[in-house]
Amino acid sequence: MRVIGTAGHVDHGKSTLVKRLTGIDPDRLAEEKAREMTIDLGFAWLTLPNGETLGIVDVPGHRDFIENMLAGVGGIDAVLLVIAADEGIMPQTREHLAIIDLLGIHNGLIVLTKIDTIDDPDWLDLVENEIRDAVSNTTLANAEIVHVSAHSGAGIPELIEKISAVLADLPLNTHYNAPRLPIDRVFTISGFGTVVTGTLLGGTLRVGDEIEIQPFSVRGRIRGLQSYKQPVEIAQPGSRVAVNVAGIEKSALERGFVLTHPRQLQPTLLVDVNFRHLKDTSRPLKHHSEAKLFAGAAESTVRVRLLNDETLPPGAEGWLQLRLEKPLALSQGDRFILRYPSPAETIGGGIVVNPQPGRRWKRFQPSVIEQLETRMRGTPAERIAQACHTPIKRAALQKAVGYSDNELDAAIQDALAQGILRQLPDDSYVAEWAWQGILRRIENELLTFHHAEPLRRGMPREELRSRLGLKQALLTMLLDGQNTVVAENNALRMADHEIRFSDTQQHAIHDLYEQMNAAPYTPPSYADATEIVGENVLRALIELGEIVQVQPDVIFSRQAYEEMVAELLNLIDQNGQVTAAELRNRFNTTRKYAIGLLEHLDSAGITKRAGDARVRGRQ
């Protein structure tokens, strides 16, 4: 299904033409009929000779209602630029033409109406030459001019054939499993409740679907769907759709909101865009200027930040970061228009390149501009890799880049083949530059830790994960298969890191070992050992496994600890159990050391309590 828009000056007969084509009067408001001009968006449809239903959006032509016009031109596949033969190009027609060009609408026809009022061929030649001159540097430069009379019906069959031909050459509407319905009308129907309408993009909607309406994350459900007044179970991308919404009041909705599936879109107050300044604007665009943004059916006042220019002269292109006055639900690739609010003037437009920059960029940064250039002009593989700055699953990646299933698969395979993308064991994807960047951050954190704590064996795994903000599963995948970082128990260290003691520390360690060996089962306490070697050295010896700490103040040498554990288990195997008194007597130690060892072994699962005795545990 396709949707076309009509544009042109108020007196050029757009609505009359639409009524002649479809039998439907797009002017639905009483004021529109009284004033004989389109004030708000009008909608109609017709069936083409090939059986396809074509939606038509009739937009206002008067300059007082240009902002209503902008709410209707997003999402259309082609345009009919309507120009009256008896008047020719008017100022408002030129503004509509500029908007069509800025929105990148390449497909359409120029419809010369009221042809029955002109008898002079020279006049028609003059008008056509004027039109050709006006469209020469726009997306409609090659559009065919079709002569019609909505009054007499002359040329209408030919116009329908030309419309069919234009649409037949268009690719299928992109279906990337992420439906978006920019809402252009909200109303209620007695007995049914809230209804919203718009042109569906990106995917299908089904009766019963759970939905979310952004930018305020309002949840509801689809009670019913209509497309061109016909009930449907499934609405296809590229069609005009009316959605009967359950669970949401009309008062919670307005034009410019976007209906999607839950968690598909995030509202934003900051957006990076590529902007083209119209060459006939009244003044250069200055940094921090106020303007009005129009995207889809939405609008917001914005502050303009020029990222790479002091000022942007008329006719120039540049990179902008826009700070929105209110949140909007925008997607990468959305087209937009900027206007000065007072005096009202269309100044340019362009493409949303990053709807979620997440930060206010510093100006005049080549790396920022390079990143934005890749987002907009890079190959599909490059754009895929850039979108994978953190591990991302296929469905989320598809929503981020807006590719169809076939386009996405091709881009992923190309990126993998080029080595700029990595597929992880959990079937997520991450850019190679991002993967290597995280590894470098891990190494830098560990090197910093080793420098600050040279006598620590390694950095606690959870501490590193928390500092880097990584999920545990991702940290595991990062460490698997590389040899620069070693994981030991719950600590991580650089592979070449070793604990090295100074000569003074070695002498102190020797003194401690002599005292521990002299009384292996009643050795110095933790506090006493700290006095001898210092706490940092003692902690290092414990991490190295040369000393075993069984309780906060109870330590043993590794040899004594292993002897005591082996003999304790032997006593259990001989007698079925062992008591603290028996262990104390066997090693001629004190209750403090015997109880400390037993409680340590209980916690490790090597022993377990059975009344006042211990038996073997689960280990």
| 183-219 pLDDT per residue, tens | 989 999 988 899 999 999 988 999 999 999 999 999 9
Q: Does the pLDDT value for residue 33 go beyond 70?
A: no
Q: Are residues 151 and 57 in the same domain?
A: yes
Q: Are residues 293 and 155 in the same domain?
A: no
Per-residue pLDDT tens for 547-559?
Answer: 999 999 999 999 9
Instruction: Supply the pLDDT for residue 31.
Output: 46
Q: Name the band, by pLDDT with cuts 50, 70 and 90, for residue 377.
A: confident
445 belongs to a structural domain: no
Per-residue pLDDT tens for 334-363?
Answer: 999 999 998 889 999 999 999 999 899 999
497 belongs to a structural domain: no
Residue 256: name the closest of 88, 495, 74, 514 by CA. Answer: 74
d(CA 534, CA 538): 6
DSSP 175: B
Residues 62-91: what's their mean pLDDT?
A: 76
Residues 1-13: what's their mean pLDDT?
A: 69
**Chain mean pLDDT for the chain:** 89
d(CA 533, CA 34): 97
197 belongs to a structural domain: yes
Q: Does the pLDDT value for residue 227 go beyond 80?
A: yes
Instruction: Supply the pLDDT for residue 27.
Output: 66
Q: Is the dihedral of CA 325, 328, 332, 335 positive or negative?
A: negative
Strand 193-199 and strand 240-246: the pairing is: antiparallel
Residue pointed to by tokens 């019906």? 153
Three-state SS string over 223-269 comes to EEEEECCEEECEECCCCEEEEEEECCCHHHCCCCCEEECCCCCCCEE
Instruction: Supply the pLDDT for residue 69.
Output: 63
Q: Are residues 140 and 244 in the same domain?
A: no
Q: Name the band, by pLDDT with cuts 50, 70 and 90, for residue 72.
A: low
Q: Which domain holds residue 362?
A: 268-369
Residues 414-418: what's their mean pLDDT?
A: 94
Q: Are residues 27 and 164 in the same domain?
A: yes
CB neighbours of 467 closer than 8 A, spacing ≥ 6? 445
Instruction: Supply the pLDDT for residue 574.
Output: 93
Instruction: Supply the pLDDT for residue 35.
Output: 44
Q: Are residues 322 and 406 in the same domain?
A: no
Residues 597, 522 contacting (CB under 8 angstroms):
no
Give me the number of domains the chain comprises.
5
474 belongs to a structural domain: no
Q: How far, in whole angstroms, is CA 233 from its chain's centroid?
A: 29
Per-residue pLDDT tens for 580-611?
Answer: 999 999 999 999 999 999 999 999 999 999 98
Q: Does the pLDDT value for residue 34 go beyond 60?
A: no
Q: Are residues 249 and 272 in the same domain?
A: no
Final residue in a domain of this structure, among 215, 235, 260: 260
Instruction: Determine what percent of the chain is predicted with pLDDT higher than 70.
Output: 94
Residues 276, 349 contacting (CB under 8 angstroms):
yes
Residues 4, 76 contacting (CB under 8 angstroms):
yes
478 belongs to a structural domain: no
Instruction: Determine if the pTM surpasses 0.85.
Output: no
Buried b (16+ CB within 10 A) or exposed e, 515-550: ebeeebbbbbbbeebbebbbeebbbbbbbeeebbbb
Lowest mean pLDDT segment, chosen from 397-406, 520-529, 595-604:
397-406
Residues 424-432: what's their mean pLDDT?
A: 92
Final residue in a domain of this structure, among 168, 198, 228: 168
Residues 47-61: what's their mean pLDDT?
A: 84
Instruction: Supply the pLDDT for residue 619.
Output: 67
Q: Are residues 402 and 416 in the same domain?
A: yes
Q: What is the CATH number of the domain that holds 125?
A: 3.40.50.300
Q: Are residues 218 and 272 in the same domain?
A: no
Query: Could you count the other beta carbons within 10 Å of the beta carbon of residue 250?
Result: 14
Q: Name the band, by pLDDT with cuts 50, 70 and 90, for residue 524.
A: very high
Q: What is the CATH number of the domain that holds 290?
A: 2.40.30.10
147 belongs to a structural domain: yes
387 belongs to a structural domain: yes
Instruction: Supply the pLDDT for residue 358.
Output: 86
175 belongs to a structural domain: no
Q: Are residues 207 and 309 in the same domain?
A: no
Q: Are residues 196 and 341 in the same domain?
A: no
Q: Are residues 405 and 522 in the same domain?
A: no
The stretches of 459-547 forming alpha helices (DSSP H) are: 461-468, 472-479, 503-518, 526-533, 535-543
Q: Are residues 221 and 278 in the same domain?
A: no
Final residue in a domain of this structure, among 168, 202, 218: 168
The stretches of 146-209 forming alpha helices (DSSP H) are: 156-168
